Amino acid sequence: MNNQQTAELSVFVAKLKDGIWILGVASWLFGITHRSIASFSDGYLSAIEIMQLFTASFFFIGWLYLKPATSFSNEGIND
């Protein structure tokens, strides 16, 4: 692999990581919203429903901390 192919591969991997992370954020938000609506629909919260909401929120916050830190740009790649 030459230098340009390596740079292109790095950009692709960075964009893939960002895309997976964004998909995960949307999935966690949907899951927490769905669980909240299901929990509040009967008018009261049980201990199990509170723990499910807490657990989903905890994993969502953990997912936010897993955001890919470095992203590459195409500026340095010559076509």
Report, as an integer, the average pLDDT of 72-79.
Answer: 52
The ranges assigned to domains in the chain are: 24-69
The predicted-structure confidence for 17-73, as pLDDT tens digits, reads as follows: 999 999 999 999 999 999 999 999 988 889 999 999 999 999 999 999 999 876 555
Residue pair 67/2 in contact (Cβ under 8 Å)? The answer is no
Q: Which residue has the tokens 């609506």?
A: 37
Q: What is the pTM of this model?
A: 0.76
The backbone torsions φ and ψ at residue 55, rounded to the nearest 5 degrees and listed phi first, read: -65, -45
Residue pair 7/78 in contact (Cβ under 8 Å)? The answer is no
Please list, in sequence order, all residues whose beta carbon lies within 8 angstroms of the beta carbon of residue 24, skipping any fewer than 6 positions away. 63
Q: Within a 10 A sphere around the Cβ of 65, how many other Cβ atoms?
A: 6
Q: Check residue 42 and report its DSSP letter.
A: T
